[in-house]
Amino acid sequence: MGLVIFRCSALGARSMTLRTTVVAALVLLASFSGQAFAQAPDPSTLHDALHLTPVQEAAWRRYQLAIAPDPTAAARRKAAQAMIANLATPRRIDLIDAEMDADVAAMHQQGEAVKAFYATLTPTQQRVFDTQTSPRPGAMGGN
């Protein structure tokens, strides 16, 4: 995503509107994604529905630790939000780009944790996991 913004800036002043539009679209998409994750099932409900074996319990604990909200990320976002109004546009774009990179890295780390846990599940448990964790209709801004 950062490459798209960088390449747009190389096109010249005319691309400023395109760059702003791209950044706004990415921020909007991130906010919709956050809403979908906010509606995730209660972990204890998912845990109970999976009927994990004792061997799978360790994988469950690792999964839960990996997907837990990171308080440092929340503090970083709050600090960036406070700074952004006082920055010149190029610095603002750099800050947004850095925030997006950090968010994407965290998303990849969480995604790997989900895949590692998912691999420990039986096919029946995988279907339960898929059903319990799929976004609900309208959760990502749709109807």
Instruction: List the domain boundaries for the chain.
Output: 1-39, 41-133
**How many CB atoms are located within 10 Å of the residue 23 CB?**
19
Say whether pLDDT at 43 is over 70. Answer: yes
CB 67 within 8 A of CB 40: no
Sign for the CA dihedral angle at 59, 61, 64, 66 comes to negative
Q: What is the mean pLDDT of the chain?
A: 77
Residue 118's closest CA among 108, 106, 109, 130? 130
Per residue in 96-129, pLDDT (tens digit) is: 999 999 999 999 999 999 999 999 999 999 999 9
Range in 25-29, 46-50, 92-96 with the lowest mean pLDDT = 25-29
Residues 6+ apart with CB under 8 A from 21: none
113 CB-side CA count, 13 A: 17
Between 23 and 106, the more confident residue is: 106
Q: Angle between the 43-50 and 54-67 helix axes, to the nearest 10 degrees?
A: 160
